[in-house]
Amino acid sequence: MEILKICEYCKNEFKAQRISTRYCSPDCNKTHYKLLSRKRVFSNTNKLSRKNEISNKEFLSINETCELLGISRSTLNRYIKTKKIEINKLHKKIIIKREYVDNFLEQFHVVNIPEEVIDFKNNFNINDYYYTGEVINMYSTTGNSLNNILEKNNISKIKVGSHSFILKKDIIRIFGKPQIPQKNG
pLDDT computed for residue 20 by the predictor: 87
Find, among 30, 37, 40, the residue nearest to 8 by Cα.
Answer: 30
Q: Is the pLDDT of residue 42 over 80?
A: no
pLDDT computed for residue 123 by the predictor: 82
pLDDT computed for residue 106 by the predictor: 83
pLDDT computed for residue 35 by the predictor: 86
Contact 54, 68 (CB under 8 A): yes
Res. 34 pLDDT band, cuts 50 70 90 = confident
b/e per residue 141-165 (b: at least 16 CB within 10 A): eeeeebeebbeeeeeebeeeeeebb
Half-sphere exposure of 165 (CA within 13 A, CB side): 14
Res. 125 pLDDT band, cuts 50 70 90 = confident
Find, among 17, 14, 9, the residue nearest to 33 by Cα.
Answer: 9
pLDDT computed for residue 67 by the predictor: 85
Any idea what DSSP says for residue 99?
A: H
Amino acid at 160: V
Q: Is the pLDDT of residue 181 over 70?
A: no
Res. 124 pLDDT band, cuts 50 70 90 = confident
Long-range (24+ apart) CB contacts under 8 A made by 62-70 are: 62/94, 62/96, 65/96, 65/101, 68/101, 69/101, 69/105
Contact 166, 135 (CB under 8 A): yes
Find, among 28, 30, 27, 26, the residue nearest to 10 by Cα.
Answer: 28
d(CA 121, CA 28): 56
Any idea what DSSP says for residue 127?
A: G
Summarised one tens digit per residue, pLDDT across range 68-118 is: 888 999 999 999 999 999 999 888 888 999 888 888 888 877 777 788 878
pLDDT computed for residue 47 by the predictor: 64
Summarised one tens digit per residue, pLDDT across range 128-174 is: 899 999 989 888 889 899 999 999 999 988 888 888 899 999 999 98
